[in-house]
Structure 1
């Protein structure tokens, strides 16, 4: 039996390709900040069988804090334990009642699945129930830009085979409407659009944006998390006032919120993320709830690198309930931490066929970009 011998958290920082370059998106502007680069935490899980599993996460804590939690609180419970215990991982941390351990477990669980699949010589999709699709269509993501500049990038997305474009919302909802109208006009309606204010609007602003777009004959694929989390009643009232589908994202990061939104009949779609959910199994449980409720699902992107993008491919390939293209910005990386980077230039993410996650980590690049030396 293969057992865990060491768990290491490795923070890295990579630059995002600038807007001036093909498929570049930096600075990626949102309502609260702008990104030129992104920090991620890679998780290396070594075993007594000379097999190494890899996971990946983004943390809202400092990288030092994230590293400490993974290498102490989590590692202390998993060293010398079998990798096959991946399915019982959450139960081992039931005592963490006053701290949200799920995002850290999400990254570690990914590494356990990778190692377990390598040991069994099976691609992860076989361990998750088998493929229901051969490739994964993804959504192009774009930050806040002026309408004229947004037009150019919408055209680029269409020319590269993307069918859906997600854009962040800014601080002026009128400008958001102008940008969507401009992009819709540029591609002659051949792209679907998602608009994401990151909880930044009031109900009145959300109504004005969606109604203004509806008046222009533009119906978003969905309006993503326009209101703050735990605001179930307002979501329900917003959905009742609009024809535009309403989606929740940040609400999906907290246990039972999806179930509560379903009970209130408050959303049309959900945007889940396997890492804050607690892992691939937790993401599948959310998918089951959504499927039973008839709610469509997509998957969030937090500037994922190749490890999590591989996990995403396996998750979506084996989960029919994730019926909308997941978000991705993978096309915007110039440098990579896997030896054979994915090519998303045609708007699709391939599903790796090698055992485990199906990728080989480029450890020299990991050392090049790590930030904890």
Structure 2
């Protein structure tokens, strides 16, 4: 089997407004979102089997499409989709890291391999029956494996006033979620006030993640941790509280606070995860398959974290059904993922797959059909296509 073509398709999907139960405008330290551009990637083969991947836009839809179709595709066409690891290791371009552009092609190759072998990706990855795997039910190492084929997700919320955040926290708890992540970073004092208000509103029924997207200084992050300690609030983790590549400062912050530290953007940079571990600067690894270069690269990072005894979760990047499926297969099939992954899947006004996922009590059932287990709806893609 050989790859014959790679097509990148940019789409723009609206996000459901707050007043309709959604999260738009989704306010972060950097921007405010009411819709989102995504690029869908289809890889075709000479045996009539196609696979799908998905990636966020880099700079612009046109720029992302061009790098994938004009830059990466010529290196891939004519080769076998079964050679995923070789692809990943041969993709060297001087002065540039192209992992994020390769990731959707790599995911599509996994989709093709699964369809060709008639197996879901999580089975191909081999770790889905590992004791302690996220979303899996195990009594102990000796007893029979019990698989409910669902993955738990954390609800993600943008920056809102404390009182509105508290109201949404109650709704999230009532919907059956166990973890809520909120953006932060515009005003650290209000960030603290908001978390305390949410915690009080749900009477401890939710765990919280606080993500300022590098928006605090080390001093501010230290104060946030201390004030939450005083209020009796213990976060699941603070996500990337300070700038990337400041591992010494991150380690110093970790020594000053009881709140766990979960680097995210830092893990997008090659070899940073090993350096964070060596610097004692990480409590939780917040990983993402796209900057990792795909599912195989994510497996490598998860193995590094697992060997260091560090809990692992997966980041959210406003993922439609294609990448949401890839994330679920990855966190089920790769050992080490033991915390709920982030998602905003509930917020889309529409999806590009024929059977959109349903979230029940904060969980989504992993597709058991071959490959990703999803079918892309061509008419919906054309409806939201932006090129």
Same fold by TM-score greater than 0.5: yes
Aligned to 2:76: 78
Q: How many residue pairs align between the two structures?
A: 369
Unaligned runs of at least 5 residues, structure 2? 130-135, 137-148
Q: Alpha-carbon deviations, 1:208-253, whole Å to 9, x = none?
A: 1111011000000000001111000001000000111011000011
Aligned to 2:254: 239
Q: Alpha-carbon deviations, 1:120-149, whole Å to 9, x = none?
A: 111111111142322110000000001110
Aligned to 1:101: 98
1:294 shift after superposition: 1.1
Kept after mapping to 1: 8 A contact 2:127/2:335? no
Aligned counterparts of 1:331 and 1:353: Cα–Cα separation in 2: 21
Aligned to 1:304: 319
Aligned to 2:281: 266
Alignment of 1:1-373 (within 5 A): 2-22=1-21, 24-94=22-92, 96-132=93-129, 133=136, 134-372=149-387
1:59 shift after superposition: 3.0
1:60 shift after superposition: 2.7
Aligned to 2:145: none
Q: Alpha-carbon deviations, 1:5-36, whole Å to 9, x = none?
A: 110000110000111113x1000001111000
Aligned counterparts of 2:58 and 2:182: Cα–Cα separation in 1: 22
Kept after mapping to 1: 8 A contact 2:52/2:111? yes
TM-score of the aligned structures, taking structure 1 as reference length = 0.97
1:87 shift after superposition: 2.3
Kept after mapping to 2: 8 A contact 1:77/1:92? no
Aligned counterparts of 1:334 and 1:127: Cα–Cα separation in 2: 32
1:138 partner SS: strand
Aligned counterparts of 2:262 and 2:26: Cα–Cα separation in 1: 22
1:92 shift after superposition: 2.3
1:72 shift after superposition: 1.5
Aligned counterparts of 1:188 and 1:250: Cα–Cα separation in 2: 31
Q: Alpha-carbon deviations, 1:267-306, whole Å to 9, x = none?
A: 1011100011101011111111101111111110000000
Aligned counterparts of 1:212 and 1:27: Cα–Cα separation in 2: 28
1:274 partner SS: coil
Q: Alpha-carbon deviations, 1:16-59, whole Å to 9, x = none?
A: 0111113x100000111100000111001111111110000013
Aligned counterparts of 1:170 and 1:247: Cα–Cα separation in 2: 15
Unaligned runs of at least 5 residues, structure 1? none
Kept after mapping to 1: 8 A contact 2:41/2:108? yes
Aligned counterparts of 2:112 and 2:28: Cα–Cα separation in 1: 36
Structure 1 runs (4+) greater than 4 angstroms displaced? none
Aligned to 2:142: none
1:354 partner SS: coil
1:97 shift after superposition: 2.6
Kept after mapping to 2: 8 A contact 1:59/1:103? no
TM-score of the aligned structures, taking structure 2 as reference length = 0.94
Kept after mapping to 2: 8 A contact 1:331/1:345? no
2:18 partner SS: coil
